[in-house]
Amino acid sequence: MQAAPFVIERTYNAPVAKVWEAITDNQKMKQWYFDLPEFKPEVGFTFEFYGGPDNGIRYHHFCEITEVIPGKKLTHSWTYIGYSGKSFVTWELFDEGDRTKLVLTHSGLETFPPDNKDLAAHNFARGWTHIIGTSLKNFLEK
């Protein structure tokens, strides 16, 4: 059964070009997102990183870029090495003049093991709300 995806929408006081750069330039991403060894907004590019709850399991994330529309849309898979399940994260940008609306959609969360509380949908909601609502906002609007 396919569950509804997690969707979060935020508007930033920053132009689209600045937001696009923040979500696709690895050096900028390190300042507000995860410390990715390498990242390129190119279809087929794979990237990986470790993350997880404080004082918990460090999960090995493995992702592949599946769609890029420069300045508008970026989609990548989101999986965990050693765990079943495959989800997709889509970042969509909407130009509102000197502001940008970002809509992040994380679909396929129901494919992760239901007995793993770390991979429960509410944890993704909490994580994305902090990442998009606080970390990225602070980075863009500082």
| pTM exceeds 0.85 for this model | yes
In a domain, 67, yes or no: yes
Quote the pLDDT of residue 103: 98
Number of domains the chain is built from = 1
In a domain, 90, yes or no: yes
In a domain, 26, yes or no: yes
In a domain, 1, yes or no: no
CA atoms of 127 and 106, how far apart (whole Å): 11
Nearest CA among 65, 103, 106 for reference residue 85: 106
Q: Tell me the CATH number at 58.
A: 3.30.530.20
| Segments in the chain below pLDDT 70 | 1-2
Quote the pLDDT of residue 2: 66
The parent domain of residue 21 ranges over: 6-141
Quote the pLDDT of residue 1: 54
Quote the pLDDT of residue 56: 84
CA atoms of 133 and 26, how far apart (whole Å): 20
